[in-house]
Amino acid sequence: MSDKKQKKVLGRGLDALLGNSDNADFSNNTKNNANSLQLSLDKIYVNPNQPRTNFDSNQIDNLVVSIKELGIIQPITVRKINDDKYEIISGERRYRASKIANLESIPCYIKAVEDETDLLKMSLVENVQRVDLDPIEIALTYERFINEYNLNVDAISRLVGKDRSTVSNYIRLLKLDPIIQSGIRDGFLSMGHGRALINVDDKKLQIEIYEQIISSKLSVRQTEKIARGNKDLPSNNSNSDVSKIYLDATNKFEKLFNSKVTLKENSKGKVSLSTTFKSINELYSIIKKITN
């Protein structure tokens, strides 16, 4: 196989795992629901090695409403274990919602997958490519590729169709304290915040800055400044002047305006303030207070 052809196959992700003929069948099935089979929910089982562990309850609830109204538009993909058992490859969220909606059966594409290794790879790649995973789940997925399949970062980047640097940045998130990893998974801070905290070697100091991010609603840029200024300091000196200023200013403005205030700093260091007043009269009262 030429380098060009090999790169093309690896870049397609599932093609590299299933082979061209299998993936062609899968593509044809996704275009034509007539190729799917109706299977009883009692015969369908979840994949115990599913990399996706967080299922948003609100998304599930919304999907239940949609299913009750329109049914299952996109069949799930399963593999046959025996006549009475089929294991999910992709579509567990649709499966869960269908059970809540009290459906008796759902449409399924059946893939012939004999090798447990290929099954796990398909589940991992399918989830990563559909951006169904949170940053930590993606990082753990990449780590499994490394530990269980001896793949390096270059091979993973080709397999999932992501830049090498992107894959590396995800993996580096696993260096963070588990509490911070949980914060990223729960959406309390972004991957950008996490990347900034990676530069702080002291885990206790990471937690202290993490708490500052939450309490002061610090931006990624503010977090980067604090991390750069504190990464070599002992933990008892972890409070940065930057965060103190923002916290103090926010508190004073909120007390003055009697309203919630948000301070944001752009890439050039310019700071903007935003708040909401109940009426023009309240705004006028604030102006009078300031001018006096």
Those residues with Cβ within 8 angstroms of residue 261's Cβ, 6 or more apart along the chain or in another chain:
250, 253, 254, 273, 274, 275
The one-letter amino acid at 206:
Q
Buried b vs exposed e over 165-185: b needs ≥16 C-beta within 10 Å?
eebebbbebebbbeebbebbe
The one-letter amino acid at 84:
D
Cα separation of 270 and 284, whole Å? Answer: 26
105 bridge partner residues: 40
Cα separation of 20 and 206, whole Å? Answer: 46
DSSP 164-190: HHHHHHHHHGGGS-HHHHHHHHTTSS-
92 noted as active-site residue: yes
**Residue 81 phi, psi dihedral angles, 5° rounding:** -90, -50
Catalytic residue among 87, 92, 126, 137: 92
The one-letter amino acid at 233:
L
> Helices 164-172 & 135-149, crossing angle to 10 degrees?
100
Catalytic residue numbers read 92
